């Protein structure tokens, strides 16, 4: 399923071609092996409260979201071969191309909304 991701706090579009990873296999593979991630693309991992970038080739922006879609922690341009802490408030994670959060002015405390692309 393709998703549109809006930052409703800032009235900014973060992605219009995001995908959701809900199965164990999809969550495990994530973005590993991708050579690039274009602006407008992203991956919403549900459930998730910690990630790693092992075996990844690209840096990514990461937003940890609580149950209501509020950003509880974010990382800008998290490089490959890193691991984050566990964020117990987080129920999902949005991975975006490096630079997407900064370009949109997105900050911790902002609320994101996900809509299916029809």
Q: Which region among 4-8, 29-33, 58-62, 102-106 has the lowest average model confidence (pLDDT)?
A: 29-33
Whether residue 118 has pLDDT greater than 90: no
Are 114 and 14 within 8 A, CB to CB? no
Q: Which residues contact 87 (CB under 8 A, 6 or more apart)?
A: 49, 50, 64, 72, 73
Residue 81 predicted with pLDDT over 90: yes
- List pLDDT tens digits, range 1-53: 899 999 999 999 999 999 999 999 899 888 988 889 999 999 999 999 999 99
Structure tokens at 38: 């274009």
The mean pLDDT value of the chain amounts to 96
What confidence score (pLDDT) does residue 15 get? Answer: 98
Q: Are 54 and 81 in contact (CB under 8 A)?
A: yes
Its pTM surpasses 0.85: yes
Nearest to 22 by CA among 92, 88, 73: 92
pLDDT at 38: 95
């Amino acid at each position: 399923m393709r998703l549109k991701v809006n930052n409703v706090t800032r009235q900014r579009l973060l992605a219009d071609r995001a995908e959701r990873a809900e199965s164990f296999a999809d969550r495990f593979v994530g973005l590993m092996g991708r050579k690039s991630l274009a602006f407008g693309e992203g991956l919403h991992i549900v459930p998730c409260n910690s990630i790693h970038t092992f075996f990844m080739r690209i840096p990514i922006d990461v937003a940890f979201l609580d149950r209501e879609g509020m950003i509880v922690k974010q990382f800008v341009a998290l490089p490959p071969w890193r691991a984050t802490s566990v964020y117990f408030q987080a129920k999902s994670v949005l991975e975006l191309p490096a630079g997407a959060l900064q370009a949109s002015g997105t900050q911790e405390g902002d609320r994101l909304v996900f809509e299916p692309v029809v």
